[in-house]
Structure 1
């Protein structure tokens, strides 16, 4: 005789059937991209090693030798009466700020005094001291240019108020007989280095000069034209747009 299933047994059978149903797979989460950036402390150690090992000086000398050879050769090809010119940046091109950079642990100190033993050393105070050492390969290019009858102009982002201190520092470093020293005046305030320097080179050209070479340590020293050739010196220590 047929007997109805109890409610408990019916529930058990239903649950058993559900256990054998296929379960849709769960998609694994998408991998998260991680930027493996270099550690700042490690980078600073590498910068010190690059400078102190002599590799930095060798890189400067290599580019400067190319620039000097070009300036001498190009000047010799110009017609009589031409006014060839060489444009040089100052900081980390003609003069070295290494003591200031090192004591500041590669930071930029915008104001304040300069303590070269313990730090910090403010940039304006350091520049006004006029103690930046010569970058010898650049001085060699400068002297080659002068010997070839090429006028040399310094175009720097230093402010106009530092003119006297900068001129003294250049002279003490051995730069003698340059044609012009261009510093950043109030009218160029707010301009990028690239914009300001390109405009100043255009002014030099407007005086009748042919800028046969422009040498600097930043891309912004060289951007914007107004030079036949550009020469980029190594500088992994800081960046100026």
Structure 2
């Protein structure tokens, strides 16, 4: 009787523990992804990978510029030219648009307040690329997903971060929303219509490079957020 009960129990437990057929594949656990993204940044691997892509872009620009009439480069700003890591970490990789950002390194840190504070540092390798491009008479344009009401703050932040003498800063009109590529692609086309040849486009999002209008695109690493 006891053996029969044990057998029945084991069959029940075994059946309960057996995996169900045709289960959907689970996406990555969000908590694990946050830990992995933090480790990638803090280990130095993120910066090494970032700098490696910038070095490739810089080499290409130096090679292409002398062969091109009115050469230009286009750069995104956030996580391409300026680093928002302090805000990203404080917000736990979430997006908090409103509210103050006055308790760093603790959060929450409102993104609007952070961007308007002008405290984001420049990536040293990107700043060096810009300076090298300018020394080779390459026009420098920024095309950012920030909106027009942040123009003054963005210009101030670029200056404070040691970036000077760019040829154009394009921000989204206040009425522009939705997919970034629908704004950025025609903006690069506008630059071309001014007579420039865009030899390189740099960004941390696939949407920064989508749609062409550049001889070559360079995608920088960013596992921290996605902008479609």
Normalized against structure 1, the TM-score is what?
0.84
The residue that corresponds to 1:126 in the other structure is 114
Q: Structure 2 CA distance, aligned partners of 1:95 and 1:140?
A: 13
2:125 to 119, 130, 137: 137
Q: Structure 2 CA distance, aligned partners of 1:38 and 1:224?
A: 29
Q: Structure 2 CA distance, aligned partners of 1:117 and 1:173?
A: 20
1:37 to 27, 37, 56: 27
Matched, 1:147 2:143: no
The residue that corresponds to 1:238 in the other structure is 225
**Unaligned segments of structure 2, at least 5 residues:** 1-19
SS of the residue 2:151 aligns to? helix
The residue that corresponds to 1:103 in the other structure is 90
Q: Which consecutive segments of 4 or more residues in structure 1 shift more than 4 A?
A: none
SS of the residue 2:97 aligns to? coil
1:197 to 184, 202, 211: 184
1:35 CA displacement: 1.8
Normalized against structure 2, the TM-score is what?
0.88
The residue that corresponds to 1:57 in the other structure is 47
SS of the residue 2:53 aligns to? helix
SS of the residue 2:144 aligns to? strand
1:133 CA displacement: 0.9
SS of the residue 2:112 aligns to? helix
Between the two proteins, the alignment pairs up a number of residues equal to 209
1:163 to 151, 161, 165: 151
1:186 CA displacement: 2.6
Q: Structure 2 CA distance, aligned partners of 1:109 and 1:89?
A: 21
Q: Deviations over 1:52-72 (max 9, x none)?
A: 110000001110000000001
2:100 to 113, 122, 133: 113
The residue that corresponds to 1:68 in the other structure is 58
SS of the residue 2:60 aligns to? helix
SS of the residue 2:130 aligns to? helix
SS of the residue 2:201 aligns to? strand
The alignment's C-alpha RMSD in Å is: 1.4
The residue that corresponds to 1:181 in the other structure is 169
Q: Deviations over 1:74-102 (max 9, x none)?
A: 01122xxx211000000000000000000
More displaced 10-residue stretch of structure 1: 35-44 or 197-206? 35-44
Answer with 1 or 2: which has the greater Rg: 1
1:214 to 201, 214, 217: 201
Alignment check: 8 A CA contact 2:86 2:105 kept: no
